[in-house]
């Protein structure tokens, strides 16, 4: 039961005309809300809303006051320069804290060639056409309009029809003047239209009569052909790409991202840089963050971004990782852009590296240096390999310290015993679709968080490839939080992830996780208050809930998520943001439409 603020409703008394006029001047719709006398004062008041704070008391209030990027008052009338605040009348709309995605690849999304458009909410061919056409209306004729990753053929056609992409004819209808490429997963398959088909065939790439491009070599060749275009290889395009990616996130309420890096062009198992072997999840690890740094320096980052360093290194001594740990300060940055930790890989190869000597050495080095660490678990045994070895490292760190292995210890860097082991380093295991109760308990004992997701299983899950055990985790008191793992194999849209957690249904409408469903409030909390922990101690106290003194991040929703009579389970996926505020700044606004 929510603890609602007192409404103070009493007998209605006719207000003097002067007071009514003053009220109308102060409280206005978004299209005319700016008070000219208060511009630049940094105060903003939201009134007449259903504002779910997600705080410890689960309060629902009707107003908030924002000053200097923080919540100055939550509920009631507050204090401060409210007489000079810009006022937004929410007209009863539902508000939640800014959503946090604790594991995605948004930097990589921003680097993809072409003008990206997310098809997360396209659950039909017609909707996909509508979204693609809308994007085309905002770009120049001839520009590539693409969706590279984060889609699956399952989402476009309901059963009993076979899953498929929009075909060449359907894409031509949506994009008569713009080439396109829709790309599934890491390696395809993919789909293009007539203009795109002509381009790819001119490069010697095999394209079917219906625009279908086979997975692996043909799709990867098509991807590399786009990457090679000069218009996709300049700083302006890459800066714009990151803004587009963050902008989509803001449109669905995501105000904070933890980016988990990407496979390295030259050092991953995909091959040499610039060849057709590099998959959708590859980038230049040395230049990938240039756009984030540029936008941040110019004060143009519209969302918060924390960066983890994904590490792939086959050398058993992991010398590159040692150099990073020795020469980079953990949690360096400010409230907009910060580094985070090592992950989602810690040495070895991207797949099959768990349990190998490079991975074990890398894990020990991260622990010894006191860094955060994240690894991903996909199979039915990955989580056992990770957590069992982390348990060993935890014991070593608490008892004898950890010498540099396999190389001899560095005399200049003595081994230090840490009585807390790894328990306060906020290590994370990601995905864990098959984790068992015993290992959930072990994660609790080690102080480890579990990053779980729904959009991935919604997109391509089956009755056997299902999970995550949301209900069991919550019942056992696990430290858990929601993520998307977008945007290769999963959608970024958090409302799709929430839909899956609430219903257990995949994109084909099949219930695949029905015995592990949780409530709407529980999964929203996993995206807000509970996710703050994953950002580390520097940010944790400032995000995740709407409370006085916290950074002013909030989302005004298009519908009342909490009311199943107004929003059915099937309609959860349709929810979006109509107003997103980050650090007290309006960064997405549809209220005036």
**DSSP codes joined into one string, 262-323:** -EETTTSTT-STTSTT--TTEE-TTTTTHHHHHHHHTT---SEEEEEEEE-B-STT-HHHHH
Examine the fold and report which residue of 207, 228, 249 is the final residue of a domain before the chain moves on.
228
| Cα of 481 vs its chain's centroid, Å | 12
Model pLDDT for residues 267-289, shown as the tens digit of each residue: 444 444 444 446 888 888 889 99
**For residues 301 and 334, is the Cβ–Cβ distance under 8 A?**
no
Gap between the Cα atoms of 315 and 312, Å rounded: 9
Structure tokens at 521: 């409030």
- Whether 33 has a pLDDT exceeding 50, the answer reads no
Judge if 93 and 126 occupy the same domain. no
Judge if 501 and 568 occupy the same domain. no
**DSSP codes joined into one string, 509-554:** S-BSSGGG---HHHHHHHHTTGGGGGG-HHHHTTSSS--TTSB--E
Gap between the Cα atoms of 61 and 344, Å rounded: 38
Model pLDDT for residues 353-389, shown as the tens digit of each residue: 899 999 999 999 999 999 999 999 999 999 999 999 9
From edge to edge, which strands make up the β-sheet containing 449-453?
A: 374-377, 428-431, 449-453, 480-483
Burial grade of 6 (CB within 10 A; 0-12, 13-18, 19 or more): exposed
Q: Phi and psi of 192, rounded to 5°?
A: -135, 175
Gap between the Cα atoms of 377 and 523, Å rounded: 21
Average pLDDT (552-566) is 98
Structure tokens at 260: 């988990």
pLDDT of residue 379: 93
- Whether 192 has a pLDDT exceeding 80, the answer reads yes
Angle between helices 194-202 and 217-227 (to 10 degrees): 90
Residue 15 lies in a domain: yes
Average pLDDT (510-528) is 98
- Residue 332: pLDDT band with limits 50, 70, 90: confident
Gap between the Cα atoms of 210 and 476, Å rounded: 50
Gap between the Cα atoms of 130 and 124, Å rounded: 10
Average pLDDT (490-500) is 97
Extended beta strands in 139-281, E state: 145-148, 180-183, 190-192, 212-213, 254-259, 263-264
- Whether 100 has a pLDDT exceeding 80, the answer reads yes
pLDDT of residue 215: 95
- Spatial neighbors of 588 by CB under 8 A, at least 6 apart, are 247, 250, 251, 302, 577, 579, 580
Residue 75 lies in a domain: yes
Average pLDDT (552-563) is 98
Gap between the Cα atoms of 519 and 522, Å rounded: 5
- Whether 198 has a pLDDT exceeding 70, the answer reads yes
Query: Closest Cα to residue 86, out of 115, 55, 46?
Result: 46
Residue 543 lies in a domain: no
- Whether 80 has a pLDDT exceeding 70, the answer reads no
Gap between the Cα atoms of 251 and 37, Å rounded: 30
**DSSP codes joined into one string, 40-108:** TS-EEEEES-EEE--STT-EEES-EEEETTEEEEESS---SSGGG-EEEE-TT-EEEEPEEEEEE-HHH
- Residue 17: pLDDT band with limits 50, 70, 90: very low
pLDDT of residue 403: 67
Residue 248 lies in a domain: no
Judge if 217 and 120 occupy the same domain. yes
**For residues 335 and 551, is the Cβ–Cβ distance under 8 A?**
yes
Average pLDDT (237-257) is 97
CATH code of the domain containing 216:
3.10.310.70
Gap between the Cα atoms of 45 and 50, Å rounded: 14
The CA-to-CA distance between both ends of the chain, in Å, stands at 34
- Residue 593: pLDDT band with limits 50, 70, 90: low
Q: Which residues form the domain of 123?
A: 114-228
**For residues 239 and 288, is the Cβ–Cβ distance under 8 A?**
no
**Range in 265-279, 538-552, 571-585 with the lowest mean pLDDT:** 265-279
∠ CA(154), CA(157), CA(162), 5° rounding? 75
- Whether 221 has a pLDDT exceeding 50, the answer reads yes
Gap between the Cα atoms of 63 and 95, Å rounded: 10
Average pLDDT (423-437) is 97
- Residue 266: pLDDT band with limits 50, 70, 90: low
Buried b (16+ CB within 10 A) or exposed e, 166-199: bbbebbbebbeebbbbbbbbbbbbbbbbbbbbeb
CATH code of the domain containing 25:
2.30.40.10
Average pLDDT (223-236) is 93
- Other C-beta atoms within 10 Å of 439: how many? 21
- Residue 487: pLDDT band with limits 50, 70, 90: confident
- Whether 15 has a pLDDT exceeding 50, the answer reads no
Judge if 508 and 462 occupy the same domain. yes
pLDDT of residue 415: 77
Judge if 83 and 172 occupy the same domain. no
- Residue 85: pLDDT band with limits 50, 70, 90: confident
Judge if 74 and 118 occupy the same domain. no
Gap between the Cα atoms of 430 and 123, Å rounded: 27
* Residue pointed to by tokens 């609790």: 444
Examine the fold and report which residue of 228, 262, 293 is the final residue of a domain before the chain moves on.
228
Average pLDDT (568-588) is 98
**Range in 108-122, 186-200, 350-364, 424-438 with the lowest mean pLDDT:** 350-364
* Residue pointed to by tokens 């991975």: 359
- Other C-beta atoms within 10 Å of 279: how many? 23
Examine the fold and report which residue of 228, 252, 267 is the final residue of a domain before the chain moves on.
228
**DSSP codes joined into one string, 470-493:** HHHHHHTT--EEEE--TTTSS---
**Range in 87-91, 99-103, 405-409, 533-537 with the lowest mean pLDDT:** 405-409
pLDDT of residue 278: 65
Average pLDDT (326-346) is 88
Instruction: Please report how many Cα atoms fall inside a 13 Å half-sphere around the Cα of residue 405, on the Cβ side.
Output: 16
Judge if 90 and 120 occupy the same domain. no
Residue 303 lies in a domain: no
Gap between the Cα atoms of 345 and 358, Å rounded: 11
Judge if 134 and 222 occupy the same domain. yes
Residue 429 host element (H or E): strand 428-431
Gap between the Cα atoms of 583 and 577, Å rounded: 16
pLDDT of residue 23: 35
**For residues 454 and 501, is the Cβ–Cβ distance under 8 A?**
yes
**Range in 48-57, 307-316, 346-355, 425-434 with the lowest mean pLDDT:** 346-355
pLDDT of residue 42: 66
Judge if 120 and 206 occupy the same domain. yes
- Whether 112 has a pLDDT exceeding 70, the answer reads yes
- Whether 2 has a pLDDT exceeding 60, the answer reads no
pLDDT of residue 309: 93
- Whether 4 has a pLDDT exceeding 60, the answer reads no
- Residue 349: pLDDT band with limits 50, 70, 90: confident
**Averaged pLDDT score across all residues of the chain:** 89
**For residues 119 and 147, is the Cβ–Cβ distance under 8 A?**
yes
Residue 104 lies in a domain: no
∠ CA(21), CA(30), CA(499), 5° rounding? 135
Domain count, the chain: 3
Residue 49 lies in a domain: yes
Gap between the Cα atoms of 485 and 359, Å rounded: 21
pLDDT of residue 432: 97
Residue 527 lies in a domain: no
- Whether 10 has a pLDDT exceeding 80, the answer reads no
Average pLDDT (133-145) is 97
Judge if 16 and 56 occupy the same domain. yes
Judge if 447 and 514 occupy the same domain. yes
**Range in 218-222, 239-243, 416-420, 519-523 with the lowest mean pLDDT:** 416-420
pLDDT of residue 25: 31
């Amino acid at each position: 039961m929510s603890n609602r603020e007192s409404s103070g409703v009493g007998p209605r008394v006719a207000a003097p005309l002067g007071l009514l006029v003053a009220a109308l001047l102060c409280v206005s719709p978004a299209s005319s809300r700016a008070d000219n006398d208060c511009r630049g004062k940094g105060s903003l008041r939201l009134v007449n809303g259903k504002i779910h704070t997600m705080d410890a008391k689960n309060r629902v209030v009707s107003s908030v006051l924002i000053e200097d990027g923080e919540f100055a008052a939550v509920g009631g009338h507050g204090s401060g320069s409210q007489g000079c605040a810009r006022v937004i009348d929410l007209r009863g709309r539902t508000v939640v804290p800014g959503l946090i995605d604790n594991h995605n690849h948004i930097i990589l999304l921003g680097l993809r060639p072409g003008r990206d458009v997310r098809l997360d909410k396209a659950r039909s061919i017609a909707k996909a056409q509508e979204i693609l056409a809308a994007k085309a209306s905002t770009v120049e004729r001839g520009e590539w309009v693409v969706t590279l990753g984060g889609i699956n053929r399952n989402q476009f056609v309901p059963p009993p029809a076979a899953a498929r992409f929009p075909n060449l004819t359907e894409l031509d209808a949506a994009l008569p003047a713009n080439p396109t490429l829709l790309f599934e997963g890491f390696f395809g398959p993919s789909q293009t239209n007539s203009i795109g088909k002509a381009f790819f065939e001119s490069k010697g790439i095999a394209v079917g009569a219906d625009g279908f491009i086979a997975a692996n070599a043909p799709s990867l060749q098509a991807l590399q052909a786009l990457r090679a275009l000069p218009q996709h290889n300049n700083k302006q395009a890459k800066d714009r790409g990151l803004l587009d990616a963050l902008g989509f996130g803001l449109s669905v309420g995501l105000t904070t991202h933890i980016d988990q890096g990407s496979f390295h062009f030259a050092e991953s198992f995909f091959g040499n840089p610039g060849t057709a072997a590099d998959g959708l999840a590859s980038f230049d690890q040395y230049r990938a963050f240039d756009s984030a740094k540029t936008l941040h320096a110019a004060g143009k980052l519209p969302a918060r971004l924390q960066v983890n360093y994904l590490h792939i290194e086959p050398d058993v001594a992991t010398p590159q990782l040692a150099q990073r740990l020795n020469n980079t300060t953990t949690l360096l940055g400010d409230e907009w852009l910060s580094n985070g930790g090592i992950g989602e890989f810690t040495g070895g190869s991207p797949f099959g590296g768990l349990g190998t000597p490079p991975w074990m050495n890398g894990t020990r080095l991260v622990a010894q240096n006191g860094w955060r660490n994240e690894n991903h678990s996909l199979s039915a045994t990955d989580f056992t390999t990770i957590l069992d070895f982390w348990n060993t490292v935890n014991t070593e760190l608490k008892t004898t310290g950890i010498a540099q292995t396999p190389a001899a210890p560095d005399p200049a860097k003595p081994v230090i015993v840490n009585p807390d082991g790894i328990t306060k380093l906020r290590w994370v295991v990601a995905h864990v679709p098959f984790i068992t109760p015993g290992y959930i308990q072990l994660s609790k004992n080690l102080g480890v968080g579990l990053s779980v997701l729904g959009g991935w299983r919604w997109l391509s899950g089956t009755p056997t490839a299902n999970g995550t055990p949301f209900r069991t985790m919550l019942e056992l008191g696990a430290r858990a939080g929601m993520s998307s793992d977008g945007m290769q194999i999963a959608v970024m849209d958090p409302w799709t992830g929430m839909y899956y957690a609430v219903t257990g249904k995949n994109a084909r409408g099949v219930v695949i996780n029905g015995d592990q469903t949780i409530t709407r409030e529980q999964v929203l909390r996993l995206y807000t208050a509970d996710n703050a922990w994953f950002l580390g101690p520097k940010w944790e106290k400032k995000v995740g809930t709407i409370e006085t003194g916290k950074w002013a991040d909030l989302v005004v929703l298009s519908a009342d998520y909490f009311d199943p009579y107004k929003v059915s389970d099937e309609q959860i996926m349709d929810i979006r943001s109509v107003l997103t505020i980050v650090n007290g700044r309006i960064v997405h606004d549809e209220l005036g439409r």
